[in-house]
């Protein structure tokens, strides 16, 4: 039983406040470096939206969840990841255990005033017509109380899955840094990992601009952008400022050749070109003109050979690339 009498009103109020808005945030606040301070409070001074990741892995006590709501401003938006039991263990089947998980997660959403509950199916779960039929029976018979479901299908989007989402008014969750939404929805919900290995990635300016353009072309009422890259706090903050002011912030002291040299100092030499690209190619540097680019764009032009030192790589890059 819920202990906040205004839960439904709070959900509706938050839904109303985000109409026509683009919300940029990250997957959690736990890794924000604030020393011994309150990470959530510090996070809420940088962003006004966050995706709660911990609920995917464990059932959090409601007293802890309530403390989150009271530690942030009233207009701060949470989205909630549904516990993986529902998708990975019970496979979205309409069984008693599934309804128990769903009820717990809806309660979490209501306590936080979260307008979105995110569901992620595992890659091993093939969402064929039989799985979609089970998911339809389950999702069409739960009481959401104003909460919308954002469904992320890791095993691929089949025609049956798309029909399921459209029929039940589910929000398709895709990674806009890798693809596009399968159909037009009134809400956009995207989890941004980039094109690296899992979360090992850092977005450059061109990629953030491409994401911005995809969001604006969608013309949805609400858009939620959740960064999950290794540099997610910086990536999210850069795009947020870009959306607000039309420009990217300049926050790094080292630029151009100096910035490249510092990154390459993290590589253990001697090292092949492929190994250098693997270790630091996903990182980015600021050019002398202030444009942020991937290191891989500089390294791709140099000869494929063994490099003995940082200076060897820098010398070759300087021959083939410009830093302006």
How far is the C-alpha of 148 from the C-alpha of 150, rounded, in Å? 7
- Give me the mean pLDDT over the 77-95 stretch: 98
Number of compact structural domains in the chain: 2
Query: Which among 192, 221, 245 is the end of a domain?
Result: 245
pLDDT of residue 169: 97
| Dihedrals phi, psi of 115, to nearest 5 degrees | -80, -15
Paired sense of beta strands 271-272 and 306-307, if any: antiparallel
One domain, residues 105 and 158: yes
Please state which of the ranges 19-28, 59-68, 81-90 shows the lowest mean pLDDT. 19-28
Residue with tokens 């912030």: 249
* pLDDT at residue 16, as a whole number: 37
pTM: 0.90
- Express each pLDDT in 267-282 by its tens digit: 999 999 999 999 999 9
Find the mean pLDDT for residues 141-162. Answer: 94
If asked whether residues 273 and 157 sit together in one domain, one would say no
Residues 105 and 14 in one domain: yes
Kindly report, residue by residue over 176-212, the tens digit of the pLDDT.
999 999 999 999 999 999 998 888 899 999 999 999 9
76 - beta bridge partners?
Answer: none
What average pLDDT does the segment 136-141 reach? 97
In a shared domain, residues 60 and 195: yes
Question: What does each C-alpha distance from 64 to 59, 70, 117 come to in angstroms?
Answer: 11, 10, 18
């Amino acid at each position: 039983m819920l202990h906040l009498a205004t839960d439904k009103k709070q959900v509706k109020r938050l839904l109303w406040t985000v109409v026509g808005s683009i919300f940029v945030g990250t997957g959690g606040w736990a890794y924000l470096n604030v020393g011994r301070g309150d990470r959530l409070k510090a996070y809420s001074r940088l962003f006004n939206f966050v995706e709660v990741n911990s609920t995917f892995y464990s059932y959090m006590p409601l007293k802890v969840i309530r403390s989150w709501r009271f530690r942030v401003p009233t207009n701060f938006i949470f989205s909630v990841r549904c516990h993986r039991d529902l998708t990975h263990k019970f496979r979205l089947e309409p069984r008693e255990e599934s309804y128990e998980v769903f009820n717990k997660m809806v309660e979490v959403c209501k306590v936080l005033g979260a307008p979105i509950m995110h569901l992620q199916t595992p890659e091993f779960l093939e969402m064929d017509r039989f799985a979609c039929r089970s998911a339809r029976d389950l999702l069409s018979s739960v009481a959401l109380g104003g909460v919308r479901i954002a469904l992320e299908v890791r095993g691929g989007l089949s025609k049956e899955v798309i029909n399921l989402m459209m029929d039940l008014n589910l929000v398709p969750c895709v990674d806009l840094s890798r693809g596009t939404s399968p159909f037009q929805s009134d809400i956009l919900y995207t989890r941004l990992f980039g094109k690296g290995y899992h979360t090992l990635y850092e977005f450059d300016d061109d990629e953030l601009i491409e994401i911005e353009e995809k969001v604006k072309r969608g013309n949805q009422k609400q858009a939620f952008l959740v960064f999950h890259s290794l540099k997610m706090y910086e990536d999210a903050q850069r795009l947020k400022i870009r959306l607000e002011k039309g420009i990217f912030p300049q926050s790094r002291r080292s630029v151009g050749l100096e910035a490249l040299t510092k990154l390459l100092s993290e590589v253990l030499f001697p090292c092949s070109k492929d190994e250098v690209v693997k270790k630091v190619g996903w990182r980015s540097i600021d050019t002398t003109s202030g444009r942020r680019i991937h290191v891989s764009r500089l390294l791709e032009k140099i000869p494929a050979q063994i490099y003995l030192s940082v200076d060897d790589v820098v010398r070759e890059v300087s021959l083939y690339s410009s830093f302006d």
